[in-house]
Amino acid sequence: MEHRYTNFKANFDSWFLRLLVWREKHIKERNFVLVLALIVGIISGFAALLLKYLIHVISGALTSSVEISGGNYLYLLWPVLGILITSIFVRYVVRDNISHGVTRVLYAISQKKSRLKPHNMWSSLLGSSVTIGFGGSVGAEGPIVYTGAAIGSNLGSAFHLSPRVLMILVGCGAAAGIAGIFKAPIAGMLFTIEVLMLDLTAVSVLPLMISSVAAASIAYTFTGYESEFFFSQSEYFITTRIPYAVMLGIFCGFVSLYFTKAMNMMERMFGKLGNPWLKFIVGGAILSTLIFLFPPLYGEGYGPINSLLNGNYAQIFDGSVFYDYRNEVWMVMAFIALIIITKVFATSATNGGGGVGGTFAPSLYVGCMAGFLFAIVVNTLGVTEGGISIKNFALMGMAGVMSAVMHAPLMAIFLTAEMTGGYQLFLPLLIVSLVSYGTIRLFLPWSIYTMRLAQRGELLTHEKDKSVLTLLKIDNVIEKDFLPVKPDMSLKEMVDVISHSSRNLFPVIDKDGKLIGIVLLDDIRNIMFRPDLYRKIHVSKFMTSAPAKIEVGEPMDSVMKKFDDTNAWNLPVVENGKYVGFVSKSKIFNSYRRVLKHYTDD
């Protein structure tokens, strides 16, 4: 059996090598990327279908016996069991951290030349389906973005494509994931542009369109043309309600600020716990208690969203210990407010306890609740004649919170419209999204995804120069033709070294090869032609400290910051203190121009 496998692998490798050679001869890279984009879109579309199916099957089986008119103690069991199974799967099968999918995709683009591990094509999908199916209060969108991006990355790596093309294919997979799970191709494209923050060229847009449309087509083919959320607009938005849309945008901005800050605080808390079993106990206790008290926190929360979008707010009390209070308006407002407050803790507890899921759906969920709460408070207080539409404002709240949490107003607007069919509310969606985004930007410069990387100095931004810098590596620009000198060498020996060098800079190293200083030719020019000093002065007397040192493997944006801070033209490179070589601005600029030309070549 082993012999047959070896022969099969050898034959496959030989066939694939011939395919690579044939492709390079007959298909231009630009055209080949379009073919791969289509393949990535189709595979990611099926992955999204599989993820939704697994969540539906697991959740349906576990909640079929839930009692609607009262509390259910099964809610204390299922979520804990789900994150236990997932954490065991991650620790002993995957053996890698697969949480925070969107952030990890951003990190791969920023720091790893858009390369993702092969297991990412399936591990997040399985982990999140168990987590969410058993009631974990997270979303499936982060994991499907991770899955789609990994499909694009590994497919591109198999064909030995450049980091520039891999970046495009990663974006294609991410866009396809969103398009496939929401049936929203435009939002899928905008997600890649706004959330993943790729500075795309005209050449990159077409592959994104192909992947998004392919994934959405798969979703439409197998699940029909119905929108992800059923929304029927029975009340038209009138211009006199614009001030309330602005107020809703401000309210959503502050809700998003709370959501982001609280999420960040909870992640730090779980990070300090250290022991994975302690994390599981704490996370499981928080999650199960919150779901028992507030059943709408169970799973993705798409059911409660559909209820609010269609005015059936009493349904959110189903399975709750507060079921008998479902017709009391003040109790409804208090219940919704508590859900908004506790959702972030349920989501953090799910991921912190060992589950796998994203914050995409939770932001939609909180937004819907926030819009509903805003509208019902306005109507209850009677501040406007005729009141405002609770359904419309619940929909607008979804766009508002998503826009602010993700710092992606365009994506939020189109995603909300695409997955609900609420295009007639496009103007108020624009207003709420932009105001909410502007509000949070006053307090936070980063989205919930980019904040984690920004805090570690690993953030890739929209700016093209920083995007190109991530494609440069310090190891590729190190120059090693600088002649080293010793601190005990005399001026005569130093002059001899200068006569054999084409450089005007000399590293001073000790007997162990560690860099202890540098000698600049300009600093000794006034004494190097005085023979009477040749035996009297040694290198240790006229060497100076390096203005800064660069470590091997240091990110290029950090390297450029050191050049800016020191105004140096050359800086030494060390590895654990030992001299390796020098890096010059001119070398970096030449490499930068070359990569930029390749990066933007149409």
Reported as a single tens digit per residue, the pLDDT across 257-273 is 999 999 999 999 998 98
**Residues 284 and 79 sit within 8 Å (Cβ to Cβ):** yes
In this prediction, residues 199-216 reach a mean pLDDT of 84
Q: Does domain 239-459 have CATH number 1.10.3080.10?
A: yes
User: Cα–Cα–Cα angle for 29, 33, 36, nearest 5°?
Assistant: 135
Question: Residue 146 pLDDT > 70, yes or no?
Answer: yes
**What secondary structure letter does DSSP report for 514?**
B
Out of 19-23, 169-173, 462-466, pick the least confident.
462-466
For the question of whether the overall pTM of this predicted structure is more than 0.85, the answer is no
- Which one, of 455, 469, 445, lies nearest residue 110 by Cα? 469
Distance CA 438, CA 434 (A): 6
The string of pLDDT tens digits covering residues 397-453 is: 999 999 999 999 999 999 888 888 777 888 899 999 999 999 999 998 888 877 766
**Residues 299 and 291 sit within 8 Å (Cβ to Cβ):** no
Between these two residues, 167 and 228, which has the higher pLDDT value? 167
Residue environment code for 415-448, b if the CB has 16+ CB neighbours within 10 A, otherwise e: bbbbbbebeebeebbbbbbbbbbebbeeebebbb
Q: For residue 39, what pLDDT is reported?
A: 95
Distance CA 414, CA 392 (A): 15
In this prediction, residues 320-338 reach a mean pLDDT of 90
Question: Residue 462 pLDDT > 50, yes or no?
Answer: no
**Residues 319 and 68 sit within 8 Å (Cβ to Cβ):** yes
In this prediction, residues 186-205 reach a mean pLDDT of 78
Q: Hunting for tokens 């064909």 — which residue is that?
A: 159
- The contacts of residue 225 (CB under 8 Å, 6+ apart) are none
Taking only Cα atoms into account, the Rg of the chain, rounded to an integer number of angstroms, comes to 29
**Residues 464 and 199 sit within 8 Å (Cβ to Cβ):** yes
Which of 63-72, 469-478, 569-578 has the highest mean predicted lDDT (pLDDT)? 569-578
Out of 46-55, 367-376, 522-531, pick the least confident.
522-531
Do domains 2-223 and 239-459 share one topology? The answer is yes
Q: For residue 395, what pLDDT is reported?
A: 92
Question: Residue 89 pLDDT > 80, yes or no?
Answer: yes
Question: Residue 458 pLDDT > 80, yes or no?
Answer: no
In this prediction, residues 492-510 reach a mean pLDDT of 89
Q: Does domain 2-223 have CATH number 1.10.3080.10?
A: yes
Between these two residues, 564 and 50, which has the higher pLDDT value? 50
Residue 386 tokens read as: 């005729």
| Residue ranges of domains in the chain | 2-223, 239-459, 467-599
Distance CA 442, CA 407 (A): 12
Q: Which amino acid is at 483?
A: L
pLDDT mean across residues, the chain? 86
CA distances to 93, 263, 319, 461 from 335, rounded to whole Å, are 40, 21, 13, 39
Which segments of 258-346 are extended strands (E)? Answer: none
Between these two residues, 11 and 105, which has the higher pLDDT value? 105
Q: For residue 476, what pLDDT is reported?
A: 76
Q: For residue 194, what pLDDT is reported?
A: 84
- The contacts of residue 459 (CB under 8 Å, 6+ apart) are 106, 110, 446, 450, 453
Out of 4-18, 69-83, 467-481, 489-503, pick the least confident.
4-18
Question: Residue 53 pLDDT > 90, yes or no?
Answer: yes
**Residues 150 and 118 sit within 8 Å (Cβ to Cβ):** yes
Q: Hunting for tokens 């494209």 — which residue is that?
A: 189
Question: Residue 192 pLDDT > 60, yes or no?
Answer: yes
Distance CA 315, CA 106 (A): 38
Binning pLDDT at 50, 70 and 90, where does residue 343 land?
Answer: very high
Binning pLDDT at 50, 70 and 90, where does residue 504 land?
Answer: confident
In this prediction, residues 108-112 reach a mean pLDDT of 71
Question: Residue 212 pLDDT > 50, yes or no?
Answer: yes
Distance CA 526, CA 55 (A): 78
**Residues 584 and 185 sit within 8 Å (Cβ to Cβ):** no
Out of 19-33, 337-351, 392-406, pick the least confident.
19-33
Question: Residue 596 pLDDT > 60, yes or no?
Answer: no
Between these two residues, 563 and 111, which has the higher pLDDT value? 563
Q: Beta strand pairing status for 578-584 and 505-509?
A: unpaired
Give the percent of the chain with pLDDT over 90.
Answer: 47
Beta bridge partners of 509: 515
Binning pLDDT at 50, 70 and 90, where does residue 91 land?
Answer: very high
Question: Residue 16 pLDDT > 80, yes or no?
Answer: no
Distance CA 75, CA 89 (A): 22
Q: Does domain 467-599 have CATH number 3.40.50.700?
A: no
CA distances to 11, 149, 284, 307, 583 from 143, rounded to whole Å, are 34, 10, 20, 25, 40
- The contacts of residue 589 (CB under 8 Å, 6+ apart) are none
Out of 1-10, 75-84, 215-224, 423-432, pick the least confident.
1-10
**Residues 356 and 362 sit within 8 Å (Cβ to Cβ):** no
The string of pLDDT tens digits covering residues 365-399 is: 999 999 999 999 999 998 887 788 899 899 999 99
**Residues 373 and 336 sit within 8 Å (Cβ to Cβ):** yes
Cα dihedral 333, 335, 337, 339 sign: negative
Q: For residue 499, what pLDDT is reported?
A: 87
In this prediction, residues 462-480 reach a mean pLDDT of 65
Binning pLDDT at 50, 70 and 90, where does residue 37 land?
Answer: very high
Between these two residues, 46 and 465, which has the higher pLDDT value? 46
**What secondary structure letter does DSSP report for 446?**
S
Sort residue 99 into left (φ over 0), alpha (ψ -120 to 50) or beta: beta
Question: Residue 567 pLDDT > 70, yes or no?
Answer: yes
In this prediction, residues 331-350 reach a mean pLDDT of 95
Out of 128-132, 233-237, 327-331, 561-565, pick the least confident.
233-237
Q: Hunting for tokens 């697991």 — which residue is that?
A: 58
Distance CA 76, CA 69 (A): 17
